[in-house]
Structure 1
Amino acid sequence: MTTSEAIFPQDRHALYEAHGYSAAIRSGDLLFVSGQVGSREDGTPEPDFAKQVRLAFDNLEATLDAAGCTFSDIVDVTTFHTDPENQFGTIMAVKNQIFGKPPYPNWTAVGVNWLAGFDFEIKVIARIPGRA
C-alpha cells in the first residue's frame, strides 16, 4: 500500500496554515502539487500581474525542489486565470522560459471568476525521479 507524505517548501508562505492544506502530496513516485499562486510570504497577492505569475512559478519551483523534482519532471499542468484573454500573453512569456523545449507537459487552462484575490494559479502533477 502506498502511503502519502505532505511536502512543503523550506520558506513556505502563510496560506498553507491559514487554509489548512499541504503544498504537495507525495504518493509513490508521483507528486501532486496544490495550486500555487503569486503570494508573498505573508500570503497576500503580488499586485503586479507579471510579477504575480513569476512568483507563482517561483513558489511552484520551491515546492518541486522540496520533493526532489524540477520543472522537467512535470507531466500535467492545470492553470486558472481570471481574465484569460488579456492575461495569456504574460503567462505564455513565463511559461516559454520555463518549458522552452519539448517534451512539454500536458496543459489545461481554465478561466475562473474568483481566486481569492489572485489572478493566476498553477497546479501540477510531477513524477519524482528515482522513486518507484
Structure 2
Amino acid sequence: MAKRDAIFPAGRHALYDLHRYSPAIRCGDLLFISGQVGSREDGTPEPVFEDQVRRAFANLRAVLAAAGGGFEDVIDVTSFHTDPQTQFATVLAVREEEIGAPPYPAWTAVGVTWLAGFDLELKVIARVPAAKGNGTASQG
C-alpha cells in the first residue's frame, strides 16, 4: 500500500484541529483535498458570499501549493452549495478567474442543506507528482 502523507498549508486553519482532519492526503502522485470552505484562520466564515467563495479558492490554492501544485494539477472538483440557484453565477465568475484556461477539470456541483455555517465547499482530487512537490508534507 502506498504511504499516505498529510499536507498542511502554512496558514493552518482552526477548522483542521477543531474537526480533526487533514487538509489533504498525498498518496503517490494523487492529492486528495478535503472540502475547503471560505474560512478565516479562526474558523469563522466570511460573511459576504463572494468573499467566502474567494476565500475558499484561496484556501484551496494554499493546500495545492503546500503539496507543490496548483490549479493546473486539479483533475476533479466537487462543489457543495447551500443555495445553488442564487449562488452559482458568483461561483462561476470566481471559478473563471481561478481555474484558468482549458482543459478544465471534471466538476460536479451538488446542492446541500447544511455546511456548518458556510455556503460553499470545494473538494478536489489533483495529480501532483512527487518530483514536482516541494516535500512540505506534515503530520499536523
2:49 matched to 1:44? no
1:73–1:129: 8 Å Cα contact kept in structure 2?
A: no
In the other structure, the counterpart of 1:9 is: 9
Q: Deviations over 1:67-123 (max 9, x none)?
A: 001000000000000000000000000011122321000000000000000000001
Question: What CA distance in whole angstroms lies between the structure 2 residues aligned with 1:99 and 1:71?
Answer: 6
Partner of 1:117: 117
TM-score after normalising by structure 1:
0.97
Determine the C-alpha separation between the residues in 1 that align with 2:59 and 2:107.
18
Instruction: Give the gaps of 5 or more residues in structure 1.
Output: none
- Cα shift at 1:56: 0.2
**Number of residue-to-residue matches in the alignment:** 132
| Contact 1:28/1:131, CA 8 A, preserved across alignment | no
Partners of 1:105 and 1:38 in 2: CA distance: 21
- 2:60 aligns with 60
Measure, in 1, the Cα distance between the counterparts of 2:130 and 2:14. Answer: 31
Question: Percent same amino acid among aligned pairs?
Answer: 66
TM-score by length of 2: 0.91
Moved over 4 A (4+): none
Q: How does 1:68-83 map to 2 (within 5 A)?
A: 68-83=68-83
Task: Tell me, in whole angstroms, the C-alpha distance in 2 between the residues paired with 1:33 and 1:6.
Answer: 10
Unaligned stretches of 5+ residues in structure 2: 133-140
- Show the counterpart of 2:137: none
Instruction: Provide the C-alpha distance between the structure 2 equivalents of 1:99 and 1:15, rounded to a whole number of angstroms.
Output: 25
Partners of 2:12 and 2:71 lie apart in 1 by 19
Name whichever of 71-80 and 97-106 sits farther off: 97-106
Distance change >3 Å, CA 15–CA 130, structure 1 → 2 = closer
Q: Give the aligned CA root-mean-square deviation in angstroms.
A: 1.2
Task: Work out the CA distance in 2 between the residues paired with 1:131 and 1:2.
Answer: 16
